[in-house]
Amino acid sequence: MFVEKFQAGRAYSSALLGAFTMALALGLSGCGSSPKEDPNSQAALDKLYADAKDDLNSGSYDRAIKTLEKIEGRAAGTTMGQQATLDVAWAYYKTNERAQAVTTLDRFIKLNPSSPAMDYALYLKGIVNFNEDLGLFGRLANQDVAERDQQASREALLAFRQLVEQFPDSKYAAEATTRINFITNTLAAYEIHVARYYYNRKAYVAAANRAQAAVSEFQYAPGIEEALFIMSESYDKLGLTQLRDDARRVLDKNFPDSEFASNGGAKKKKPWYMLWKFWG
C-alpha cells in the first residue's frame, strides 16, 4: 500500500514538474521576442510621414504618393491625415497629373471646410489649374496666349478669388491677387481674340456678342477698349446704329487716348498684350 501511494505521488510530481517546465519555456520564449508594432500608432505614422517627406524632397513622387495614401487611411480625421492629403495633391501636380491633383484638393475642401489649411488648399488648387505657359514668368513674347483653351485658367481664377475673399490675411493672398489680375487680363484677351476672329470672317453677330461678353465680365481689363471697338464696328456692319453709337460713346469716354477712339486717339499705341493688332 505504501509503495503504491509513493509511486502515485511520484507520478503526480513528475506531471506537475513537466507542466511547470513547459509554462516556463513558453514564458521565456515570449520574453525573447519583441511585441509587434501597431501600424496605427503615432510612432509608426510619424515614421511613415518622415519617409514620405524624404521621397517628396528627393523627387520620388510616385513612391511618396503610395506612402501618403497609407497615412490618409490610417490617420483619417487628424491633422496629419489632412496634411497627407495636401501632400498627395502636390505630388500629383509635380508628376503632371493635374486631374488627380484637382480631384484630391476638391475632396479635401469638401471634407475639411474648417481646416486651418483651407487657404493653402485653395492656393494649391489655383496653382494646379494655372496654365504655367500663361504664368507670370511665361514666355509671353513667343506665343499667342489668348488662342489657348482658357478653362483651366478660369478654374484657377475661381480658386484664387475664393482664397482672397475668404482669407484676405492669408500669406498666400498677395500672390493670389497678382495671379487674379494676370488671369483676368488673359481671359479678356482670349474673348477679344475670338471676337476679332468672328469679325474678320464677317460673322458680325457673333463678334458683337463675344465682345459684349468681354466687356461685361472683364470691364477693368486693359484690352476692353478693343472689345468696345469691335462692338461698334460689328453693330455698324449690322446696321444697328443706336447700338453702334452707344459703344463708341463708351469707348470715347473711357479711353479718350485710345487708337480705337473716334478721334483717332491722342496717341497711337498697341493693345496691352503686344501680341496682335486689330488691323493687322
Asked if pLDDT for residue 31 goes beyond 60, the answer is: no
Contact predicate 84/68, CB 8 Å:
yes
The fraction of the chain above a pLDDT of 90, given in percent, is 57
Asked if pLDDT for residue 16 goes beyond 90, the answer is: no
Asked if pLDDT for residue 265 goes beyond 80, the answer is: no
Confidence (pLDDT) at 132: 52
Confidence (pLDDT) at 243: 95
Mean of pLDDT over the chain: 80
CA distances in angstroms from 79 to 84, 156, 268, listed in the order given: 9, 26, 57
Counting beta carbons within 10 angstroms of the beta carbon of residue 21, is it exposed (0 to 12), middle (13 to 18) or buried (19 or more)? Answer: exposed
Asked if pLDDT for residue 43 goes beyond 80, the answer is: no
Q: State the average pLDDT over residues 11-38.
A: 50
Contact predicate 260/229, CB 8 Å:
yes
Per-residue confidence at 165, pLDDT binned at 50, 70, 90?
very high
Kindly report the CATH class assigned to 41-110. mainly alpha
Counting beta carbons within 10 angstroms of the beta carbon of residue 37, is it exposed (0 to 12), middle (13 to 18) or buried (19 or more)? Answer: exposed
Instruction: Look at 241 and 140; give whichever has higher pLDDT.
Output: 241
Contact predicate 164/175, CB 8 Å:
no
Instruction: Look at 269 and 57; give whichever has higher pLDDT.
Output: 57
The fraction of the chain above a pLDDT of 70, given in percent, is 72
Q: State the average pLDDT over residues 219-225.
A: 87
Please give the model's pTM, rounded to 2 decimal places. 0.71
Per CATH, is 135-148+177-280 categorized as 1.25.40.10? yes
Instruction: Look at 24 and 238; give whichever has higher pLDDT.
Output: 238
Asked if pLDDT for residue 3 goes beyond 50, the answer is: no
Angle between helices 118-129 and 98-111 (to 10 degrees): 160
Q: State the average pLDDT over residues 182-210.
A: 93
232: nearest Cα among 242, 220, 222, 218: 242
Per-residue confidence at 76, pLDDT binned at 50, 70, 90?
confident
First to last CA, the chain: 129
Helices marked H in 32-117? 42-58, 61-74, 79-94, 98-111
Q: State the average pLDDT over residues 211-226.
A: 90
The residue with cell 502636390 is 90
Domain boundaries, the chain: 41-110, 135-148+177-280
Q: 203-228: string of b/e by CB count within 10 Å (b at 16+)?
A: ebebbbbbbbbbbeebeebebbbbbb
Cα(80)–Cα(71) distance, integer angstroms: 8
> Residue 43 has which C-alpha cell?
510612432
Over residues 141-164, the pLDDT tens digits come to: 444 544 556 788 899 999 999 999
Cα(76)–Cα(160) distance, integer angstroms: 27
Confidence (pLDDT) at 39: 64
Asked if pLDDT for residue 236 goes beyond 90, the answer is: yes
